[in-house]
């Protein structure tokens, strides 16, 4: 089965629609402090535009949060119309269990106690996918640094893994071959000067589909 493609850090309607037309399965909206953060009205506009487009209606929207309360996550998810929630901080498993929609949990092999709790869980058919990103000091993702593919591969043997960290159209096929992930996640790898680049988005999705 082809790897799922997530284009993260979407900030504009036109970029969301390009991602949809290129064949992305998921787009990510940042609700945590970041240069890619979106406000609620912008996020709602992006979701509305996707739902009103033929291809965009098939794309699911992921809200990315860092160390936020479950109540605030759920309130934003309901208002914006998110399909998924991504927990990218040091959230404990209980946070995901308290949410009313599917979650993705980011791990960076950073030796934090909360991450140990996630990795120690016995995998089940309902286990949230784990997004494996690079461990970069002071960063909760989107740094454009390649992560530990060997560790990601070992994790992917027992859990659905969404591989992130420094992926581009040039290296994503090799990453898929090495890790065999459930999906891949890209943000900076499809940007030019910090702005989403339509040509790079199309090239990335083509490289994934051809892997």
Write out the catalytic residue numbers.
Answer: 8, 133
Let me know: does 162 contact 183? Beta carbons within 8 Å.
yes
Beta bridge partners of 62: 28, 84
Q: Which token pair is 108?
A: 């960076």
Half-sphere exposure of 90 (CA within 13 A, CB side): 10
d(CA 206, CA 171): 12
Residue 96 burial (CB < 10 Å; 0-12/13-18/19+)?
buried
Helices 40-52 and 70-80 pack at an angle, to 10 degrees, of 40
Chain centre to alpha carbon of residue 70: 18
Give residue for tokens 């499809």.
Answer: 190
């Amino acid at each position: 089965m082809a790897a799922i493609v997530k284009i993260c850090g979407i900030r504009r309607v036109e970029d969301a629609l390009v991602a949809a037309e290129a064949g992305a399965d998921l787009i990510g909206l940042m609700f945590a402090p970041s240069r890619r953060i979106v406000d609620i009205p912008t996020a709602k506009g992006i979701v509305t535009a996707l739902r009103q487009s033929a291809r965009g209606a098939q794309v699911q929207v992921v809200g990315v949060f860092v160390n936020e309360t479950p109540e605030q996550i759920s309130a934003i998810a309901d208002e914006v119309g998110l399909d998924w929630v991504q927990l990218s901080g040091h959230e404990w498993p209980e946070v995901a269990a308290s949410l009313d929609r599917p979650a993705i949990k980011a791990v960076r092999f950073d030796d934090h106690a909360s991450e140990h709790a996630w990795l120690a869980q016995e995998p089940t058919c309902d286990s949230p996918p784990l997004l494996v990103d690079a461990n970069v000091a002071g960063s909760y993702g989107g740094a454009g640094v390649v992560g530990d593919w060997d560790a990601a591969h070992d994790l992917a043997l027992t859990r659905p893994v969404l591989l992130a960290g420094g992926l581009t159209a040039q290296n994503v096929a090799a990453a898929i071959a090495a890790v065999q992930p459930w999906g891949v996640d890209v943000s900076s790898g499809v940007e030019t000067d910090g702005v989403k680049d339509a040509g790079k988005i199309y090239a990335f999705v083509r490289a994934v589909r051809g892997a």
